[in-house]
Amino acid sequence: MAGKSDTERSDVARIRAVLARELETINEYEAFAEDSSNPEVRAFFLHLAAEEKEHVSEATHMLRMLDKGQDAFFAKPFVPGHFQAAVAGAPAEPA
pLDDT in tens, 48-93: 999 999 999 999 999 999 999 999 999 988 888 888 877 876 555 5
- Asked if 43 contacts 56 with a C-beta cutoff of 8 angstroms, the reply is no
Burial group, residue 67, by CB count within 10 angstroms (0-12, 13-18, 19+): buried
CA-based nearest residue to 12, from 69, 75, 57: 69
pLDDT in tens, 4-52: 666 666 899 999 999 999 999 999 999 999 999 999 999 999 999 999 9
Domain ranges of the chain: 11-74
Residue 1: which pLDDT band, with cuts at 50, 70 and 90? very low
Angle between helices 6-35 and 39-66 (to 10 degrees): 160
Cβ contacts of 50 within 8 Å, gap of 6 or more? none
- Asked if 49 contacts 26 with a C-beta cutoff of 8 angstroms, the reply is yes
